[in-house]
Copies of this chain bind each other. A is one copy, B any other.
Amino acid sequence: MNTVPPFRDPTVPGNSHIPRQDWDRAPWNRWTFQHVRELLPTTKVWRGMGPASPLPVDLRDIDAVSFAAEGQSHTIAGFLETSYADGFLALHGGKIVAERYLNGMAPHTQHLSQSVAKSVVGTVAGILIDRGVVDPAALLTHYLPELEATAYRGATVQHVLDMTSGVVFDETYTALDSHMAQLDVASGWKDSPNPDWPTHVWDLILSLKDLECPHGASFRYRSIETDVLAFVLQRAAAAPLAELVSRELWAPMGAEEDAYFTVDTAGYALGDGGFNATLRDYARFALLHLRGGEIDGRRIVSPGWIAATRFGADPALFGDIYREALPAGAYHNQFWIEDIARGAYMARGVFGQLIYIDPEADFAAVILSSWPEFVSTTRLRTALAAVRAVREALAA
């Protein structure tokens, strides 16, 4: 079920059926999300030379765990089979209690995680903030004076960390002329339908001239704000994003495999959604968060930054359209907060990418998918119900 033939099989000469403008859509995404580097230019996030940090395994049988979602009853086994999942991993007590590969994925496959990248970049921001390299209260123009000529004038680093600038950015994924469509072109993911569109991400940022409300007034999901943040980090630390993620996060946390970003024609690594890594390395990233910023005895990010991320959001800024799936939710420091009282939080990406982190239960889960839809409240609610059911079963 939910399986597809390989759309590109190099052993069958000439067997190539991936349309350039729709490579990330169904049904092709079932193959492409595990093969992004075979389609687009990419840059390495080096794992470094050290050993991989330990991820002890203590597998538990969770197949029969049952749960209800969206008026239907499910088991975990049934959910994994029918939810377009490519990888599933659960961590409890610092151990892998479940690890599944579907749809041709393998432990060393780097899977596109879409906007999970934002939380990776956000964590690197936390690390550089801890070290005083970046000041979240500073104006963006302190680091990027070029933004004086854009609607980002007057916004702070924290505003883009929280996506609370007042800048107009139309995130509509399926529109042909939205800012998001322009970002797909600027990032190099798609060919341009319009010669006037920006040809790389920095030029797209410079083209944003309109405000829809004052900076700080409300949260609105704008992918480009992660890219603005990434350019701040690059400028402040004087290194390309992929090198920063390697040096500050992927290598010190003891990743098992290299990761990678897609890059635009100017060499910019797409911080808002171009990140690819293995299931286990996403799990290490989750474990680092579960452990308050430490992994394998190494301090990566401060407990203060983790606590601020979990508990420091202002839920009043969260809009009703976001409360549909996350009624007690918020957004802060490039993470989705599931429940600000509990301090459970998430990295999420379109087409079904999820890293769920619940330090209170010493539990995390990673789901990598290739849904047919960009977003689906039904699928998201079902995935969250599945994850909570596994959490409760393990706690029992």
Chain B residues contacting A263 (CB-CB under 8 Å) are 10, 38
Interface residues on chain A, size class? 35 or more
Q: Which residues of B contact A11 (CB under 8 A)?
A: 234-235, 238-240
Q: Which residue of B lies closest to A205 (CB)?
A: B13
Q: Judge whether A266 and B231 touch: CB under 8 Å.
A: no
Q: What chain B residues lie within 8 Å of A108 (beta carbons)?
A: 46, 49
Cβ contacts A37-76/B at 8 Å (1 or 0 each)? 1111111101001000000000000000000000000000
User: What CA separation (Å) do A108 and B42 show in the bound complex?
Assistant: 16
**Interface check A267, CB cutoff 8 A:** yes
Q: How many copies does the complex hold?
A: 2
The CA of A290 and the CA of B239, in the complex, are separated in Å by 40
A–B Cβ pairs within 8 angstroms, 27 of them: A8-B266, A8-B267, A9-B267, A10-B241, A10-B242, A10-B263, A10-B266, A10-B268, A11-B235, A11-B238, A13-B146, A13-B202, A13-B231, A14-B202, A14-B203, A16-B200, A37-B37, A37-B42, A37-B43, A38-B42, A38-B263, A38-B267, A39-B41, A41-B41, A44-B110, A49-B108, A258-B258
List 10 extra interface pairs beyond A11-B238, A38-B43, A40-B41, CB under 8 A: A9-B267, A10-B240, A11-B235, A13-B266, A14-B203, A15-B267, A38-B263, A41-B41, A46-B108, A49-B256
- What's the Cα separation between A267 and B38 when bound, in Å? 7
What residues make up the interface of A, taking CB atoms closer than 8 Å to B? 8-11, 13-16, 35, 37-44, 46, 49, 108, 110, 146, 200, 202-203, 231, 234-235, 238-242, 256-258, 260, 263, 265-269
Contact call B14/A200, Cβ cutoff below 8 A:
yes
Identify which of A11, A42, A202 gathers the most chain B CB atoms within 10 Å of its CB.
A11
Question: Which residue on chain B has the smallest CB distance to residue A8?
Answer: B267
Q: Tell me which residues across on chain B come within 8 A of A10, comparing CB atoms.
A: 234, 240-242, 263, 266-269
A142 to chain B, nearest CB (A): 16
Given A10-B241, A238-B11, A239-B11, residue A16 in contact with residue B265 (CB < 8 A): yes
